[in-house]
Amino acid sequence: MAQDLSAPGARAVIAPNVLARIPGCEAGIKPDAIAALPGGSVNSSFRVDTRRGSFVVRLNDAAGAVLGADHGREVQLHAAAALAGVAPELIHADLAAGFMIMRYVAGATWDAADFARPERLRRLGATLRTLHASAAPAVAPFDPGAILQGHAAHLIAAEPAERAFLSGLMDKADAALALCASGGRQAAIVHNDLCHLNLIDAERLYLIDWEYAAVADPIFDVACVLAYYPQAEPHAQLLLDATGLAGCVSTAELHRARFLFLLLSFLWYRRRRLTREVSAAELAGERALRQRLSE
């Protein structure tokens, strides 16, 4: 439900300099409504309705950079994905002020159960195929090995008792990265964070929240799905077929790439817990990932 703009502080959540960049709010014109949007455990997002349409304002939290987000790369890749028709139109971004404005897409987000449905996965695969085939701009390089090493080093410094466990995982990660690199696949735009809340079903499937996007091995998007949603694993071949990767990805490569995303997710949760209180659901997610890594 939209906030009552007559209530004290309703518009204060979004600073005036940000509101002024929203179409329909120029020159101090008040929006028709503002509503906080669900989802997102780091940044804050709002739907803003104006005389010129509906928009999403996302306010970036500096904690995202610590966890691996790259907003400079995000802006470029979101814009490219929007041109390809798989992301909402990007209206404005201000990296220094820490916000982005996108056109609001009216549709339903996926839920976890959708990743067990072949027809849904086929649609996702087709969307990823379009994304991977789109022209990739020159962006900052993506080095998953360095990201993993950075997380592991920080955690070992904070929790020395974890050294042996984390060092063993990093040895496996190095082997997985080497195997994936040997596949020779052409780098493409990858979303890298295909959580169900980042998928919106409208007249087409839209992907949102591109802060972990990169130009990298397209196998990473399939591996991300399998790591996040074990219920998708029986349909791995369907996903490879739909993305057009079936002929250039071995079972071993996909299994190792999935391990990389399990590890990245686990370290993300673990490092985040060092800096802030987390929910019971997030703690349960971390424990489940640790169990899967040990299997």
Cβ neighbours of residue 83 closer than 8 Å, sequence gap 6 or more: 134
CA angle at 56 for the pair 26 and 262, rounded to the nearest 5°:
150
Six token digits for residue 234: 């029986």
**Confidence band of 130 (pLDDT split at 50, 70, 90):** very high
pLDDT, one tens digit per residue, over 24-33 is: 999 889 999 9
Do 117 and 58 belong together in one domain? no
Six token digits for residue 87: 């992301």
pLDDT at 282 over 80: yes
Quote the domain boundaries for residue 183: 108-294
The domain that holds 62 is classified in CATH as 3.30.200.20
> For residue 6, is it within any domain?
no
Do 99 and 112 belong together in one domain? no
Do 86 and 184 belong together in one domain? no
Do 200 and 157 belong together in one domain? yes
**Confidence band of 64 (pLDDT split at 50, 70, 90):** low
Please list the alpha-helical segments (H only) found in 67-187: 71-83, 118-133, 144-158, 163-181
Q: What average pLDDT is seen over the chain?
A: 91
pLDDT at 237 over 50: yes
> For residue 213, is it within any domain?
yes
Question: How far is residue 223's CA from residue 236's CA, in Å, rounded to a whole number?
Answer: 9
pTM assigned to the model: 0.90
| Eight-state DSSP code of residue 142 | -
Residue 220's H or E segment, with its range, is helix 219-228
Residue 49's H or E segment, with its range, is strand 44-50
Do 220 and 252 belong together in one domain? yes
Q: What is the pLDDT of residue 163?
A: 96
> For residue 174, is it within any domain?
yes
Calculate Rg over the CA atoms of the chain.
20
pLDDT at 69 over 90: no
pLDDT at 42 over 80: no
Contacts by 162-170, CB closer than 8 A, 24 or more apart: 169/263, 169/293
Quick check: 110 and 196 in contact, CB under 8 A?
A: yes
The number of domains in the chain is 2
Q: What is the pLDDT of residue 5?
A: 41
Q: Mean pLDDT, to the nearest integer, of 256-275?
A: 92
| Eight-state DSSP code of residue 3 | B
Q: Mean pLDDT, to the nearest integer, of 190-216?
A: 96
> For residue 169, is it within any domain?
yes
pLDDT, one tens digit per residue, over 93-112 is: 999 999 999 999 999 999 99
> For residue 168, is it within any domain?
yes
Do 37 and 179 belong together in one domain? no
Question: How far is residue 285's CA from residue 266's CA, in Å, rounded to a whole number?
Answer: 8
Quick check: 62 and 98 in contact, CB under 8 A?
A: yes
Six token digits for residue 76: 């470029």
pLDDT at 11 over 60: no
> For residue 5, is it within any domain?
no
**Confidence band of 7 (pLDDT split at 50, 70, 90):** very low
Do 181 and 270 belong together in one domain? yes
> For residue 7, is it within any domain?
no
The domain that holds 171 is classified in CATH as 3.90.1200.10
Do 157 and 71 belong together in one domain? no
- Greater model confidence, 5 or 63: 63
Q: Mean pLDDT, to the nearest integer, of 156-180?
A: 96
Contacts by 173-181, CB closer than 8 A, 24 or more apart: 173/145, 173/148, 173/259, 173/260, 173/263, 174/145, 175/256, 176/256, 176/257, 176/259, 176/260, 177/144, 177/145, 177/260, 179/252, 179/253, 179/256, 180/217, 180/219, 180/253, 180/256, 180/257, 180/260, 181/217
Given 103, 134, 164, the domain boundary residue is 103
CB atoms within 10 A of CB 49: 17
Do 186 and 221 belong together in one domain? yes
Do 71 and 137 belong together in one domain? no
Six token digits for residue 19: 């509101």
- Greater model confidence, 244 or 10: 244
**Confidence band of 19 (pLDDT split at 50, 70, 90):** very high
Helix H, strand E, coil C: the string for 95-117 is CCCCEEEEECCCCEECCHHHHHC
Do 282 and 152 belong together in one domain? yes
Do 92 and 131 belong together in one domain? no
> For residue 8, is it within any domain?
no
- Strand 99-103 and strand 53-59: the pairing is antiparallel
